[in-house]
Amino acid sequence: MTPPTWPLVPAEMQRWVEDVSVTADRVGRGEIDRWLPEELARLHNQFERVHPFIDGNGRTGRLVMNLVLVRSGYPPVIIFKRQRSAYLAALQRADSGDYGALGELIARAMYDNLNRFIVPNVAGPARLVPLAALADEEFTLIALRRAAQRGRLDAVQGPDGIWRSSRRAVDAYRMARHQRRLGNTAPNE
């Protein structure tokens, strides 16, 4: 991909801003909802193709994409460093007009972030949410799933195969685990 020469950048950015505005209006009217991830992929790719800055185009493009998402009522997305190769490959495919892979990456990031950050905060401490939404630095999704399967974490497995629990249940599991550790490390009397 070769970005436009610098004298063309302002006009290309103006064209991109107009396209974003029209797309956001169509999203607001519900005309694009079904294809939103691919439409976002197209817009993001167009920004990256203009390459308006010497450095930071990817970060700025993802930030602007999140601005469009949030203003349209959707959760922001986070593309993690471990996804870099898939992200770059998807951008390269988008350069040739195939926005599917980049759209899928955006859709998965939106879904993951919705479950990880938004659902637990809206659900409250006692509401059942997928274990992925309750995972943190102390307990990974795998650790929570194992605790649920072993009956140590109060959780239920739905007909869809997804384990669900509550923040309150994870806190109770954390306390019980902490007390077991204290019991194991306490000196003999």
Q: Give the containing element (helix H, strand E) for 129.
A: strand 129-130
pTM of the model: 0.66
> Which DSSP category does 163 fall into?
E
* pLDDT of 133 above 70: yes
How many helices (H) does the chain have, and how many strands (E)? 9, 3
44 is catalytic: no
Mean pLDDT of the chain: 87
Q: Tell me: do 24 and 60 sit in the same domain.
A: yes
Confidence of residue 182 (pLDDT cuts 50, 70, 90): low
Which position among 4, 19, 32, 51 bears the catalytic label? 51
7 and 99 in a common domain = yes
Quote the domain boundaries for residue 21.
Answer: 1-123
Q: Which residue's structure tokens are 């593309």?
A: 79
Q: Which amino acid is at 15?
A: R
Higher pLDDT, 33 or 177: 177
Give pLDDT, residue 183. Answer: 61
- The DSSP symbol for 187 reads P
Answer whether residue 87 shows pLDDT above 70.
Answer: yes
Per residue in 90-115, pLDDT (tens digit) is 999 999 999 999 999 999 998 888 77
Last residue of a domain, one of 123, 154, 176: 123
Residues 146 and 118 in one domain: no
60 shares a domain with 27: yes
